[in-house]
Amino acid sequence: MRVFISARARADVLRIYSYLVDRNPMAADRAVERIERKLEQLRHFPFIGPERPGLAAGIRVAVVGTHLIIYRVDPEAVIVLRIIDGRMDVDEEFRR
């Protein structure tokens, strides 16, 4: 199954990397690598993340460290909508 990463999710990854790279470049690289590995896992096992109907119908969440990959599964692809720090108000951040 394909994984489609929305522009918002790409911007989220860039924001995560930019925040971490100034503090610890190796941690920034590791964070992005972990996200990429989880995205590859979702390609093979798209239903691994539990549903979060409180966010919206059909939404699933996969955990990567302190970050959440928020996605939905369509017949042809996994659609990654956002990648959010789970310590934030996830409901509020997702709706932005």
* Per-residue model confidence (pLDDT) at position 92: 75
Categorize the per-residue pLDDT at 10 as very low, low, confident or very high, splitting at 50, 70 and 90.
very high
- Alpha carbon 5 to its chain centroid, in Å, reads 9
Give mean pLDDT, residues 67-90: 93
Give mean pLDDT, residues 53-72: 95
Residue carrying structure tokens 């789970």 = 86
- Alpha carbon 31 to its chain centroid, in Å, reads 11
Higher pLDDT, 94 or 54: 54
Long-range contacts of 57-64 (CB under 8 A, 24+ apart): 62/38, 64/34, 64/35, 64/38
Query: Which one of 3.30.930.10, 3.30.2310.20, 2.170.190.11, 3.20.20.80 gives the CATH number of domain 2-95?
Result: 3.30.2310.20
Give mean pLDDT, residues 37-47: 97
Q: pTM of the full predicted structure?
A: 0.92
* Per-residue model confidence (pLDDT) at position 87: 85
